[in-house]
Amino acid sequence: MNLAIDVGNSRVKAAVFLDDKLIELFVFQSTKIISEIKNIKNKFDISDAIISNVAAISDVKFLKIQHIVPITKVSSTIHTPFFNKYKTPNTLGADRIALVAAAVKNFPQQNVLVIDAGTCITFDFVDENANYFGGAISPGIEMRFKSLHFYTSKLPLLEKSTLDNFIGQNTQESINSGVVNGVIQEIDGVIEQYKRKYQHLTIVLTGGDTNFLSKQLKSSIFANQNFLLEGLNELLIFNKNK
């Protein structure tokens, strides 16, 4: 069995895979990463592991994880099941590498746009010949709310809520419309840009805001919150076979 580990700013998502099937998902605080991985290892017969965003944990913790299970870091030098055409491949984030690997695995010989709606919103495009060209990065929903609050003197800090009307009739409604409607229009607009260039386009939405956004977007999408973990597992399998 494989263990895929995605380290966030405060939380860690980990998944146990048997070949390419997700068996069980775990979510825990990053401060508990050592004990949680030990528990997972005790529960499952884990032979190999892979981790993204290793910079978010200390070198000491990473060494401790290495003593629990053989582990692979995702970096720009890892072998990938796609051709990386990014102009600065050494700056490409581990999460984006994993997302593209998942796209190629799940949608072979298709043009795929992966939208990861989390802390940031990332757009990543891979064509039907498995050529990865790049995409875009913009602030996520929570970051936009925080920027309006912290960079102004009077605007309150809000949490996202579904829009009843895109015309805000008070300050709170106006902020929510500006952020949420702005993100929806941005995503729909970017999708339309890609559709004009690539007629046959598969769209995948993932990340923490998947459920919140999926029903509000115009385009038909595949919503999968575990897409990154699936990509990590695919990278691990691909590199084990090299």
The span from the CA of 119 to the CA of 207, in Å, is 9
The span from the CA of 177 to the CA of 161, in Å, is 9
- 119 among the known binding-site residues? yes
Domains and CATH numbers, the chain: 2-73 (3.30.420.40), 83-232 (3.30.420.40)
So what's the pLDDT on residue 55? 72
So what's the pLDDT on residue 211? 92
- 124 among the known binding-site residues? no
For the question of residue 95 being annotated catalytic, the response is: yes
So what's the pLDDT on residue 1? 96
- 9 among the known binding-site residues? yes
> What is the value of pTM for the model shown?
0.93
End-to-end CA distance of the chain: 18
- 8 among the known binding-site residues? yes
So what's the pLDDT on residue 125? 98
Q: What is the pLDDT along the chain (242 residues), one digit of tens a residue?
A: 999 999 987 789 999 999 999 999 999 998 899 999 999 999 999 999 999 987 778 889 899 999 999 999 999 899 999 999 999 999 999 999 999 999 999 999 999 999 999 999 999 999 999 999 999 999 999 999 999 999 998 899 999 998 888 998 999 999 999 999 999 999 999 999 999 999 899 999 999 999 999 988 988 899 999 999 999 999 999 998 76
So what's the pLDDT on residue 4? 98
- 94 among the known binding-site residues? yes
- 93 among the known binding-site residues? yes
The span from the CA of 111 to the CA of 151, in Å, is 39
Beta-strand (E) ranges in the chain? 2-7, 11-18, 21-29, 48-52, 71-73, 83-84, 111-117, 120-126, 131-139, 201-206, 222-223
The span from the CA of 196 to the CA of 131, in Å, is 18
Instruction: Check 48, 95, 124, 209 and give the catalytic one.
Output: 95
The span from the CA of 91 to the CA of 178, in Å, is 31
- 13 among the known binding-site residues? yes
